[in-house]
Amino acid sequence: MCKRQLVLEDGTVFTGNAFGSMDPSTADVIFNTSMTGYQEVLSDPSYNGSIVVMTYPAIGSYGINRDDFESITPFVKGMIVKEAIDEPSNFRSEESLDSYMKTHGIPGISGIDTRMLTRILREKGTMKGRIITEGDDQALAPTGEDLSDLLVRETSITKPYIVPGKGKRIVVIDLGMKQSILHELMERGCDVTVVPYDYTVEEVLATKPDGILLSNGPGNPVQIKRTIETIKSLLGQVPIFGIGIGHQLLGLACGASIAKLHVGNYGTNYPVKDLATDQTWLTTQSRHYYIEEASLENIEITITHRSLNDRTIEGIKHNDYPAFSVQFNPEGAPGSNETNFLFDQFIDLIEAHILQNGADHHA
């Protein structure tokens, strides 16, 4: 069996067995604490630019199926596991994890101590790593510049498309959208137009939206300057709902600041408290950034949700305009979808805005 190595930027080297593609890869090394959902992780555009360490020891046991993808093209740059299962056992399985990763050029390493690797990342913080074949003389690539705008450009669509419905007319600004977001809107009968991340405010308003959803996506939101300016212009004109990086961009558009976590939150078990109802939800997250609370001091923003792990902001709403957002993934996938009622709250916000402003009702 071919040996492969993970070289971290601090010089630490892990040697294991190769699976998936034999291509080398350099990216941020992050860890995901989910017990299941590796297919959704592989295909979630939020993971663009990341080599993912799965902390659950056995990955690949139920194979790959046609129904659980979050995008047509996977964006993960590599996968590190304790044990890669070669022979999946599930009635929905259509191919193995190894086969899928080979087809899509995703390198993998199995047979390493993922607990030790995770502990290093927890203590030292996220760092870049390079997957190479043992004996390869290629040095670790330098950390380089922040390519967050490029990461979003890679995951966003280039031309708009419509998913027709008879309900509210929703424009989704695609920053790396998970398909599960579309599923939630379709279940509510929405007429959805998905547009590129760099669409102008004039182009967005030309679709005559009832509401705007800012999707999840990868990278540092500070670099997505065109989208920030678009959101600034849209505030107050159309109800807005932000998810993931969409939440961070809404905060930036309102004047807040963004900071980076020492270790990112990637997994399905992050507890978040709804401050209005005093309820706590276990949420799915894939993020490395958060809105700095001190920056909200003189801004018309109310904090609606808070992390119970590190007390960071998990949700906000604007005091004057119909706009709110959450840091976590209310659609789940993988993980619980018990917070998908937030999509209903979005529809309610749109209906209240239409009633208040006497706007055309597209339903």
pLDDT in tens, 18-33: 999 999 999 999 999 9
Contact 168, 211 (CB under 8 A): yes
Stretch 180-200: mean pLDDT: 97
What does residue 139 show for φ and ψ, rounded to 5 degrees? -80, 160
For residue 24, which of 177, 156, 140 has the smallest C-alpha distance? 140
Contacts of 175 (CB under 8 A, 6+ apart): 152, 155, 156, 197, 214, 215, 216, 217, 224, 227, 244, 245, 246, 249
What tens digit of pLDDT does each residue of 64-116 get? 999 999 999 999 999 999 999 999 999 999 999 999 999 999 999 999 999 99
Cα torsion through 193, 194, 195, 196, rounded to 10: 180
CATH of 3-136, one of 2.40.110.10, 1.10.760.10, 3.50.30.20, 3.40.50.261: 3.50.30.20
Give the model's pLDDT for residue 251: 98
Q: Is the pLDDT at 144 greater than 60, yes or no?
A: no
Instruction: Tell me, yes or no, if the pTM score tops 0.85.
Output: yes
Q: Is the pLDDT at 143 greater than 60, yes or no?
A: no
What CATH number was assigned to the domain covering residues 151-357? Answer: 3.40.50.880
Asked whether the CA dihedral 273, 277, 283, 286 is positive or negative, the reply is negative
For residue 184, which of 305, 36, 330 has the smallest C-alpha distance? 330
Q: Cα(253)–Cα(236) distance, rounded to whole angstroms?
A: 12
What tens digit of pLDDT does each residue of 306-358 get? 999 999 999 999 999 999 999 999 998 888 889 999 999 999 999 999 999 87
Give the model's pLDDT for residue 138: 57
> For 95, which DSSP code?
B
Q: What is the average pLDDT score of the chain?
A: 93
Give the model's pLDDT for residue 145: 52
Residue 241, sorted as left (phi over 0), alpha (psi -120 to 50) or beta, turns out to be: beta
Give the distance between the most distant pair of CA atoms in the chain. 69
Q: Cα(175)–Cα(193) distance, rounded to whole angstroms?
A: 14
Residues of the chain with CATH 3.50.30.20: 3-136
Stretch 241-269: mean pLDDT: 96
For residue 266, which of 29, 70, 65, 66 has the smallest C-alpha distance? 29
Stretch 297-313: mean pLDDT: 96
Give the model's pLDDT for residue 238: 97
CA angle 68, 153, 47 (to 5 degrees): 40
> For 41, which DSSP code?
H
- Angle, in degrees to the nearest 10, between helices 245-253 and 225-234: 60
Q: Cα(267)–Cα(66) distance, rounded to whole angstroms?
A: 22
For residue 192, which of 347, 57, 65 has the smallest C-alpha distance? 347
